[in-house]
Copies of this chain bind each other. A is one copy, B any other.
């Protein structure tokens, strides 16, 4: 019972901190403001978290753990690698829709990471894990012949780049596009390629010189 209450308090502090960070930024947010927003005393807050930074790192870990679980579930349930990648893109769509207010947090993580070694470590470690996950996914796609025999390392960072780059554009210009839909269409585009090439069963294959596209 006491433990459950402690967990509720912890969750309330995290939610309050997330709201404060998103509103004012990490630097401008004081522990006092987080306490006020959460409706807890400083004593209660410091019982759970030794510092503002530790709240920040807990938020980061929670966020990454949820993302991790979601990606793994989609990977496990997909019949082919392209199917799985498209499902992951759809999940991102849900993240965009559900988490509008939370997205600026994401930028805070990255900005803090570039200045603070502890945050950097907490960010780069899961980043490398995701990258490795996508390397494994691309390898599986090549093995099952649904992906071309591309370099898995490059393909993995390109997939991660698509997700990060769309997230960043969505943060900067929320009204500029339907970002969730763009994520799905963008992933499809990455699978198909932008360059002209002979497509199976296309109406009229045109004679082209695909010099730059066949490398």
How many copies altogether?
2
CB–CB B186/A158 < 8 A:
yes
Q: Which residue of B lies closest to A185 (CB)?
A: B154
Answer whether residue A4 sits at the interface, using C-beta atoms and an 8 A cutoff: no
CA distance A182 to B153 in the complex (A): 9
- The answer to whether B25 touches A115, judged by C-beta atoms less than 8 angstroms apart, is yes
Assess the B195–A214 pair: CB atoms within 8 A: no
Instruction: Bits for A172-215, please: 1 = Cβ < 8 Å to B, else 0.
Output: 11001100001001101111111111111100001010101111
Instruction: Tell me the smallest distance from the CB of A102 to a CB of chain B, in Å.
Output: 12
Contact B188 A215 (CB under 8 A): yes
**Contact (Cβ within 8 A) A128 B173:** yes
A30 at the interface (CB under 8 A from B): no
Q: A162-B158, A164-B168, A177-B153 are in contact. Are A148 and B193 (CB under 8 A)?
A: yes
Which of the residues B108, B124, B192 comes within 8 Å of A111, measured between beta carbons? B108
Report which of B24, B80, B124, B186 forms a contact with A212, defined as CB distance below 8 A. Answer: B80
Mark contacts of A142-166 with chain B using CB atoms, 8 A cut-off: 1 yes-contact digit, 0 otherwise.
0001111011011101101111111
Nearest chain B residue, comparing its CB with the CB of A123? B172
Among A145, A160, A210, find the residue whose CB has the most chain B CB atoms closer than 10 A.
A210
* CB-based contact B194/A147 at 8 Å: yes
* Contact (Cβ within 8 A) B168 A168: yes
Asked if A16 is at the interface (CB within 8 A of a chain B CB), the reply is no
- Residues A189 and B104 in contact in the complex (CB < 8 Å), given A145-B196, A172-B124, A198-B200: no
Question: Is the beta-carbon distance between A197 and B194 smaller than 8 angstroms?
Answer: no
Given A147-B195, A168-B168, decide whether A189 and B114 contact each other with a Cβ distance below 8 A: no
Pick from B141, B155, B158, B195: contact of A148, CB below 8 A.
Answer: B195
Chain B nearest CB, measured from A27 CB (Å):
5
Determine the distance from Cα of A201 to Cα of B201 in the docked complex, in whole angstroms: 16
Cα-based distance from A158 to B162 in the complex (angstroms): 7
Question: Which of A161, A162, A188, A210 has the most chain B CB atoms inside 10 A of its CB?
Answer: A161
